[in-house]
Structure 1
Amino acid sequence: MMKHFTILASMLSLAGMLMPAQAQETVRLVFSPDKAVSKSENTPQRIGAAGCVTTPDGLTQWCVPTQNTKANSMSRAAPLFEVHALPSHGYDAGYIAHLFTQSGQFGVVEADVVTTTRPVDTMELAIGSDSTTQINDPYFASYQLNRYFAIPSKAGAGSGIIDLWNAVGMPAVLEVKDPIDLIFIDSEFETSKEVDYHSGRSLTTTALIKGGPFQKPNDDFSVRPEVDDVCDAHGLQVIATASAKVNNKFGGVGITNNVNRHALRALTCGTGFLSDSANALLFLAGKPFQDSNLVTPYAGKPGIINMSLGSKTNSCPVYMQNAVDEAIKAGFTIVVSAGNEGATTSSKSPANCRGVIVVGALDTDGTIASYSNTGKEVDVMAQGSWIPIPCEDKDDDALYCFSSGTSFSTPVVSGVLAVVKRETGVDDATLKLALMLSSEQVRDARCDVADTCGAGRLNASGVMGFARLAAAGGLNRIEHALGAKTECDQLWLLDHFGQKARLCNLYKVTFMNGVLLNNASYQLVSIPKEASWDTATPTVINTFTKGEVLLESLTPDTLQYGMQVCENGACGDVLMMNTGKATSESKPVACK
């Protein structure tokens, strides 16, 4: 079945052909005019006419249209940022951006960085015909079922996807009924019998030929004929990892088919600009962006966004962070790849942006893949090596491809979160907590070092379990300490230990279902029963470094209780505690 294989030609040579236009002669700068920056008194400024900055040698100027300067960008319909291509005059893009920022006329100005999205390696394999389960896709039974679909205890890279399917029932993942929106910001979206696209847009501005004009946003997300013969099918393959059709007797399977697949082409041939990916997020959030009038607005609902791409930056650019914030505020969850340099995620964007879920990659044996970036930004790990995907233009051949990279571990997580969100309706913050609280230990000693592998290995059914508990209000709860005991056990405890008054007024307080997050503490707070969490100032009761504690002197009949997750001295938003089993009405029988 797996005798025939051919290593595909590397796509790295395309970088030279399709590098964003005239990289050495022209620079692209991103202007975020709403972000005020104070001028440095230690930096000499050379400010020319309005909208211009003079070069350090004083021989020429860089100018942008005056309507795009900070002073003239207060319109509500103005984009959060704009991109301008300028002659370099021999200077580096970062230095030119610094001069614009320091002028004080333009807000924050940053270099538009190159974004890439390519697999580490890909190979073709002949498709076999044997399948020993109710799923008839050839590589499901022979490959996926024994690797990342397996339960965590049965395989080193097992992520419990089979248990997730069992938890929600197969119709919930096979039938398209009340589908959730699953959005992919990526490169080429080839056609394939493995996926049906619900909608798509082209937001890439990368030139189709070196030195050619930048593309404009439009509604046609198909592969451009100018590059069809030389590009790979990365976008298609990422979508297929999350949602390839099940039971079509072809290749492998995705995590779920109960989705609307939206394809946002933000790169061309695996190369693009980070600002285009940021514009894709603004498009989804319903916010104006440069040339947004050229595309039909997004008509779906907030769902899961997959970004298997990255740019080399020492920190998250302002324009990208603003776009991330807007998408999350609109109700989306953003899942991004950690990167394939075998280095740290701190220098990879959007992985180094706040609010995103960052996914690293495991090999098939469950150890860290050699290419995977790791670091404090990583949230979770999943198999990314040798994931079955459709080959480019091979729907009619008896071939299927296997590819490796964090590009493919990321849609595994995105697909799982899509199932969980559709079933439970929980928000972005709860999905993130569910991931962290349910993850399994990675079978690699390198992950024992703090800030390496995040919370650990994805446990899909665990994510569902925690999300369901959270949706039912059971993740954080206060209950009578004796409440879970039978009446017989309650009486026995009171007889043998005495102190009836104390035991009957003892409460069991559970934070995050009893799991203590890494490097975190939990703060218990309260407000009066009639008060609102939106306006009242909570009273801090105490801070704990355990997932469960026993407390006296709580008064659930007169107070509302909440909790905060605290890290490095800073505490997050208040999450309400469920006190339904802590009131006087629910007091243990033996205490009445």
Structure 2
Amino acid sequence: MKNTFITTVALSALAAISSPALATDTVRLVVTPKHTSAKGFVSQASVSQGGCVSTPRGTADWCIGSSNSSNSIRVQATSVSGAEKSIVNLESHGYSAEEVAKLLSDDGRFGTVEADVRVSTAGSPQVKSQSLADGAPNDPGFEIYQEDYLGARDKYSAGMNVVPEWKTHNGFRDGETVDVVVMDSSFFINDDVPYYSGASFVTTGDEVSKDDFAPAQSALDAGEGVCNGHGLGVASTISALTDNGIGSAGIIDNARIHVARVMNCGDGYLSDTARAMDWLAGDEIEGVTPYQGGVGVVNMSLAGESETCPFYMQESIDKLKALGWTLVAAAGNVTDDSNNYAPGNCEGVINVGSVDLDGTLTYFSNTGTSIDLMAAGVNIAAACSASTESNSECYWDGTSFSSPLVAGLFAAAKSVTGADSEILETAFKTTAYGNTVTGCVDGHCGSGIPDLTAAISFAQKSMSGELNTISFALGENDNCEQSWFIDNFGGSIPMCSLYKVTFFSGNISEGTHYELVSVDASQTFETGSIDVQGVFTKAEMYLPAIDVVNNKYGVRVCDASGCDDEIFDMNVSGAQEEDRPAACKE
């Protein structure tokens, strides 16, 4: 059985990082009363009904709902979709948490019982002090490394086109305000990173107090010198105030940062993150004021070793996804298979790995088929203390800081476009430039490094119905140019009946292809007989014999395993008779 503790921040200099001593005499379990059986039937169980299960050797009992579980922490959910979850600490009697959980779960009286997953952001930032040149924005940390990953894509290998979009959208201040929830630890007060609200969901002791405790209203934990400011750094990466002459530059100023403390000094359990998600979904958490913000983006710069996504975590994720949240997580930093680390391996989570500033896969990043996007993960400038003096920023390494870069991009794109989570996820994955990431096994670095400019354009076209289009090939040329093409190529190419076909705004993901399909104009794709007009490995081409009068056209996205069921309509407004090029009417 694998150790469930994982370090999720890699330092730029190799250093010995030791995990905290884990108690061997107790096990921590998560009990989810709502249980879906293998046959698909849903049954309800209540921890309060209690009961005991004997150890395999019959020498002791594990009891839930009795004095044997007096340390259990009860969290009552009040939303319709919620389910009561309990954290239970039991004597191990020589068995692992996984073994105890299986025995209790198989008993059938308690619902789904799982070993809680140990998560961490252990480590500390590398601090660099060096003279800074003047620049725009004027945040001191910007000119050291930030332009390497925030700069223009055509200039920097890890650039994500944030700087060009700052100029276009006034630092995103002209867009809608977006709520961003940072689930982390070590949140210190820093004037460069204003917090809108916060709460703690931690149920384990910290470096100061070893005793377990319940969720509380304050999100601030042990002070500087005890913890490393990881949560502050993550929040700073997303939304440090820009062009104010202090600290570093966050991606988006126009965000309300809500901090949810789910670990102590970078160490904790995944169930506390699940509880924070339930809070966002509207569940009542004793001791914590209900969430007051809107639906937005969640960043989780944490990971724990778990070969599957725990049921209790997936249930909480599903509730947020149904509400429209975007969930982003760090892949982890142990050069391992990302499929073995939660919450990044859960369905509905954008799992982020890391690259060097030259666009090469970092030596520490987890990779695998669960990865969705990659972003810079070395020398990320961000706050780490209460100080806002010049050169006070730190430089962080790890997927813990690749993740908030991507979360910030989602928040920025949402602010500008107002697009929902589904459109934005498709936009970033489809427009990312994966073929420039070196050192990756095929398919193990997701779609690659995101491009904010392309994603915004993609989302806007998706919302306006201009993502997939068919138009006259000469439609974009003036009358003189149209006549020239007809005079010079009309003898061999039917220029007046040639159509430009564009799929997904001219973007195609690596390893995918498109099917152009049609159905009789009197039918629908759901009920009609679908004809495949062609299979294309490019997102833009010119085709003859398009009949928009008698046919409806659509596109399917395919890969080596087959084509998606969903068919996207082709917009043919530019291929109507009234749009025929003027030179073709002469």
TM-score (structure 2 length as normaliser): 0.84
Segment drifting more, 420-429 vs 504-513: 504-513
Select 1:540's aligned residue among 527, 530, 548.
Answer: 530
Check whether the contact 2:434–2:446 (CA below 8 A) recurs between aligned residues: no
Give the 5 Å matches for 1:32-111.
Answer: 33-37=34-38, 51-65=51-65, 76=80, 78-79=82-83, 81-111=85-115
The one-letter amino acid paired with 1:30 is: V
* Cα deviation digits, residues 79-138 of structure 1 (max 9, x gap): 26443222222211111222233334444332111011234x52223364641x342222
Report the Cα distance in structure 2 between the residues aligned to 1:75 and 1:183, rounded to whole angstroms: 20
Please say if 1:467 is aligned against 2:471.
no
- The residue aligned with 1:294 is 287
Check whether the contact 1:523–1:541 (CA below 8 A) recurs between aligned residues: no
Check whether the contact 1:366–1:383 (CA below 8 A) recurs between aligned residues: yes
Give the 5 Å matches for 1:177-216.
Answer: 178-208=176-206, 213-216=211-214
Check whether the contact 2:117–2:304 (CA below 8 A) recurs between aligned residues: yes
Shift in CA distance, 450/7, structure 1 to aligned 2, threshold 3 Å: closer
Please say if 1:249 is aligned against 2:245.
yes
Report the Cα distance in structure 2 between the residues aligned to 1:522 and 1:53, rounded to whole angstroms: 55
- The residue aligned with 1:140 is 142
Specify the SS of the correspondent of 2:290: coil
Shift in CA distance, 216/11, structure 1 to aligned 2, threshold 3 Å: farther
Give the 5 Å matches for 1:2-13.
Answer: 12=17
Check whether the contact 1:480–1:508 (CA below 8 A) recurs between aligned residues: yes
Report the Cα distance in structure 2 between the residues aligned to 1:166 and 1:503, rounded to whole angstroms: 40
Check whether the contact 1:203–1:216 (CA below 8 A) recurs between aligned residues: yes
Percent identity of the aligned residues? 33
- The residue aligned with 2:8 is none
Shift in CA distance, 229/382, structure 1 to aligned 2, threshold 3 Å: same
Select 1:401's aligned residue among 394, 398, 420.
Answer: 394
Please say if 1:311 is aligned against 2:304.
yes
Give, in angstroms, the shift of residue 529 of structure 1: 6.5
- The residue aligned with 1:3 is none
Report the Cα distance in structure 1 between the residues aligned to 2:199 and 2:499, rounded to whole angstroms: 54
Report the Cα distance in structure 2 between the residues aligned to 1:393 and 1:153, rounded to whole angstroms: 36
- The residue aligned with 2:28 is 27
Report the Cα distance in structure 2 between the residues aligned to 1:139 and 1:405, rounded to whole angstroms: 18
The answer for unaligned runs of 5 or more in structure 1 is 1-5, 40-48
Segment drifting more, 514-523 vs 374-383: 514-523
Check whether the contact 1:476–1:513 (CA below 8 A) recurs between aligned residues: yes
Specify the SS of the correspondent of 1:63: strand
Give the 5 Å matches for 1:218-237.
Answer: 218-224=216-222, 229-237=225-233
- The residue aligned with 2:376 is 383
Select 1:519's aligned residue among 491, 508, 511.
Answer: 511
Select 1:424's aligned residue among 408, 417, 420.
Answer: 417
Segment drifting more, 265-274 vs 370-379: 370-379
Check whether the contact 2:437–2:449 (CA below 8 A) recurs between aligned residues: no
Segment drifting more, 414-423 vs 201-210: 201-210
- The residue aligned with 2:7 is none
Give, in angstroms, the shift of residue 421 of structure 1: 0.9
Please say if 1:324 is aligned against 2:324.
no
- The residue aligned with 2:470 is 478
Specify the SS of the correspondent of 1:475: coil
Q: Report the number of matched residues.
A: 554
Report the Cα distance in structure 1 between the residues aligned to 2:293 and 2:524, rounded to whole angstroms: 33
Check whether the contact 2:12–2:397 (CA below 8 A) recurs between aligned residues: no
Give, in angstroms, the shift of residue 493 of structure 1: 5.7
Report the Cα distance in structure 1 between the residues aligned to 2:543 and 2:14, rounded to whole angstroms: 64
Shift in CA distance, 144/84, structure 1 to aligned 2, threshold 3 Å: same
Check whether the contact 2:427–2:458 (CA below 8 A) recurs between aligned residues: yes
Check whether the contact 1:148–1:157 (CA below 8 A) recurs between aligned residues: yes
Report the Cα distance in structure 1 between the residues aligned to 2:252 and 2:103, rounded to whole angstroms: 49
Check whether the contact 1:37–1:102 (CA below 8 A) recurs between aligned residues: no
Please say if 1:440 is aligned against 2:428.
no
The one-letter amino acid paired with 1:548 is: E
Shift in CA distance, 208/492, structure 1 to aligned 2, threshold 3 Å: closer
Report the Cα distance in structure 2 between the residues aligned to 1:258 and 1:191, rounded to whole angstroms: 19
Shift in CA distance, 579/7, structure 1 to aligned 2, threshold 3 Å: closer
Give, in angstroms, the shift of residue 315 of structure 1: 1.6
Select 1:125's aligned residue among 128, 135, 139.
Answer: 128
Check whether the contact 1:164–1:464 (CA below 8 A) recurs between aligned residues: no
Check whether the contact 1:377–1:451 (CA below 8 A) recurs between aligned residues: no
The one-letter amino acid paired with 2:535 is: F
* Cα deviation digits, residues 543-580 of structure 1 (max 9, x gap): 62432355566554566544332342351544333222
- The residue aligned with 1:580 is 573
Check whether the contact 1:128–1:138 (CA below 8 A) recurs between aligned residues: no
The one-letter amino acid paired with 2:204 is: T
Specify the SS of the correspondent of 1:28: strand
Check whether the contact 1:335–1:356 (CA below 8 A) recurs between aligned residues: yes
Report the Cα distance in structure 2 between the residues aligned to 1:398 and 1:484, rounded to whole angstroms: 51
Report the Cα distance in structure 2 between the residues aligned to 1:364 and 1:80, rounded to whole angstroms: 45
Report the Cα distance in structure 2 between the residues aligned to 1:439 and 1:123, rounded to whole angstroms: 29
Shift in CA distance, 484/23, structure 1 to aligned 2, threshold 3 Å: farther
Report the Cα distance in structure 2 between the residues aligned to 1:404 and 1:91, rounded to whole angstroms: 37
Give, in angstroms, the shift of residue 320 of structure 1: 1.7
Give, in angstroms, the shift of residue 466 of structure 1: 2.3
Report the Cα distance in structure 1 between the residues aligned to 2:342 and 2:417, rounded to whole angstroms: 30
The one-letter amino acid paired with 1:53 is: V
Check whether the contact 2:499–2:543 (CA below 8 A) recurs between aligned residues: yes
Specify the SS of the correspondent of 2:221: coil
Shift in CA distance, 199/485, structure 1 to aligned 2, threshold 3 Å: same
Check whether the contact 2:246–2:390 (CA below 8 A) recurs between aligned residues: no
Give, in angstroms, the shift of residue 355 of structure 1: 2.1
Segment drifting more, 107-116 vs 396-405: 396-405
Please say if 1:260 is aligned against 2:261.
no
Report the Cα distance in structure 1 between the residues aligned to 2:268 and 2:275, rounded to whole angstroms: 12
Report the Cα distance in structure 1 between the residues aligned to 2:425 and 2:324, rounded to whole angstroms: 13
Check whether the contact 2:519–2:530 (CA below 8 A) recurs between aligned residues: no
Report the Cα distance in structure 2 between the residues aligned to 1:283 and 1:220, rounded to whole angstroms: 15
The answer for unaligned runs of 5 or more in structure 2 is 1-10, 41-48, 67-71
Report the Cα distance in structure 2 between the residues aligned to 1:365 and 1:524, rounded to whole angstroms: 37
What's the Cα RMSD here? Answer: 3.5
Check whether the contact 1:316–1:352 (CA below 8 A) recurs between aligned residues: yes
Check whether the contact 2:82–2:278 (CA below 8 A) recurs between aligned residues: no
Check whether the contact 1:30–1:275 (CA below 8 A) recurs between aligned residues: no
The one-letter amino acid paired with 1:465 is: S
Segment drifting more, 543-552 vs 133-142: 543-552
Check whether the contact 1:181–1:303 (CA below 8 A) recurs between aligned residues: yes
Report the Cα distance in structure 2 between the residues aligned to 1:61 and 1:76, rounded to whole angstroms: 34
Give, in angstroms, the shift of residue 530 of structure 1: 8.0
Check whether the contact 1:380–1:436 (CA below 8 A) recurs between aligned residues: yes
